Amino acid sequence: MSVLEILTYPDPLLNEPAKPVESINSRIHRVIDDMAETMYQAPGVGLAATQAGINKCVIVFDPEADSEKQDFQVFINPKIIEFSGTTISENEGCLSVPDFRSDVERFERIVVEGLDMHGKNLKFEATGLLSVILQHEIDHLNGILFIDRISALKRQMYKRKRKKQLKDES
């Protein structure tokens, strides 16, 4: 297993929609292992392949990533097929959006359908934190960042701050 480099805003690859996985083979399993290791090392509660520059519809997540056992879940080609209600996810953050957090409006309840790592159909309902993580990671697969879901004013503020940060680093 190896830790992958996580792309950060404004890398244009983060805006590219990912392609569906057509065959679940050892290459995909390798990607999944690397993504999980990268997520725990970051640390984060979810990671989409897009964030590692891999153009495949794969996400890994673990709402309890800070606990000792590393019991992550995988979703291949996930799709939100039902959604209802709204909730505010407080202080949402993203490994690809350094040094910024914001409240984001999300659906309260979703039903997600896709495949597990063995290619078996997987469908479940999520609420609360899990629902927010899944919406966030599935957004990544569609080339959407959480800063695309906040007010234009806040987004501009972040973009300016990030520009300055990158300039200072160079």
Catalytic residues: 137
Report the interface residues with Ni ion, using CB under 5 A.
94
**CA dihedral of 164, 135, 87, 130, whole degrees rounded to 10:** -110
Q: Between 52 and 115, whose beta carbon lies closer to Ni ion?
A: 52
Minimum distance of Ni ion from residue 126's CB (angstroms): 17
Q: Between 7 and 157, whose beta carbon lies closer to Ni ion?
A: 7
Minimum distance of Ni ion from residue 142's CB (angstroms): 12
Strands (E), 2-140: 46-48, 58-61, 73-94, 97-115, 121-127
Minimum distance of Ni ion from residue 97's CB (angstroms): 7
Q: Is 35 strand, coil or helix?
A: helix
Sheet containing 73-94: order of strands: 46-48, 58-61, 73-94, 97-115, 121-127
Q: Between 24 and 61, whose beta carbon lies closer to Ni ion?
A: 61
Beta strands 121-127 and 97-115 are antiparallel
Q: Is 67 strand, coil or helix?
A: coil
Minimum distance of Ni ion from residue 117's CB (angstroms): 20
* 131 close to 78: Cβ distance less than 8 angstroms: no
Q: Between 94 and 132, whose beta carbon lies closer to Ni ion?
A: 94
